[in-house]
Amino acid sequence: MATEENFIKAIETLKAEDSKKVNFDQTVDLIINLKEFDVRRQAFSLFIQVPNKIKDKKIVGFFEKDSKIVDSIKKETFPGYKEKKDIRKLIKTYDYFIANAKLMPAVATTFGRALGPAGKMPNPQLGVLANEEDKTIEEVIKKINSTVKIKVKEPSIKVSIGKQSMDNEKIMQNALFVYKKVLETLPRKIDNIKNIKIKLTMSKPVKVEL
């Protein structure tokens, strides 16, 4: 199994080898390649809340009234999104969509055909709110910014676990947490893992010793 030391070593190597001068904070991706895993019969999806915030996601809420915390699309404006191009613009603008539970039927009717295939429909696990109180919205935003979504459709899992500017220790904690959650879910545990790698947006992958 991959350990804290294995991940730290790989992260240090990754940052040391990255000689590209880029003008943005690169994303750190964890890649878990699988073996002896039938994606047609054993596919799964996970929402994993990692120990350290990855990044601030662009979030919008389907609400009954405007929120001072997050961008809002009020129910009364739903009819203005009949054109597909308008909804596509929303999908490009926002990383995550949340909604008041009361409005979910209307959200599904107006936006479902576009948000569903894009994987951005408000999800009961992380995005459908019981109410529109500030505290409730703040709590879900905090969770979203430290949560990764994994949907296994092929024998290779790739998930963002941090930014290059983060401390190595925090990147390691996120990587290890995701790795362990995936390991718990795999039917044959460690026997389903071919190898593990980490990479930056513009770098080559670095192998993590198992």
- Domain boundary (144, 169, 185) is at 144
In sequence order, what DSSP letters do the residues of 44-110 get, joined into one string? -EEEEE-SS------EEEEESS--SSSEEEEGGGGGGG-SHHHHHHHHHH-SEEEEEGGGHHHHHHH
Which amino acid does the sequence have at 79? P
CATH of the domain at 192: 3.30.190.20
19-39: pLDDT as tens digits? 677 889 999 999 999 999 998
Q: Based on the domain organization, do 170 and 135 belong to the same domain? A: no
Per-residue pLDDT, 19: 66
- CA dist list (Å): 199 to 26, 47, 205: 10, 21, 4
Which amino acid does the sequence have at 138? E
- Domain boundary (144, 163, 185) is at 144
- The span from the CA of 112 to the CA of 115, in Å, is 5
Per-residue pLDDT, 155: 92
The range of the structural domain enclosing residue 204 comes to 4-54+146-208
56's tokens: 């601030």
Q: Based on the domain organization, do 153 and 50 belong to the same domain? A: yes
51-78: pLDDT as tens digits? 999 988 999 999 999 999 999 999 999 9
CB-neighbour burial class of residue 96 (10 A; exposed 0-12, middle 13-18, buried 19+): buried
Per-residue pLDDT, 93: 96
Q: Total domain count for the chain?
A: 2
Q: Based on the domain organization, do 127 and 152 belong to the same domain? A: no
Q: Based on the domain organization, do 67 and 134 belong to the same domain? A: yes
Q: Based on the domain organization, do 132 and 66 belong to the same domain? A: yes
Q: Based on the domain organization, do 123 and 153 belong to the same domain? A: no
Per-residue pLDDT, 163: 94
CATH of the domain at 133: 3.40.50.790
pLDDT in tens, the chain (210 residues): 899 999 999 999 999 987 677 889 999 999 999 999 998 888 888 999 999 999 889 999 999 999 999 999 999 999 999 888 999 999 999 999 999 999 999 999 999 999 999 989 999 988 999 999 999 999 999 999 999 989 888 899 999 999 999 999 999 999 999 999 999 999 999 999 999 999 999 999 999 998
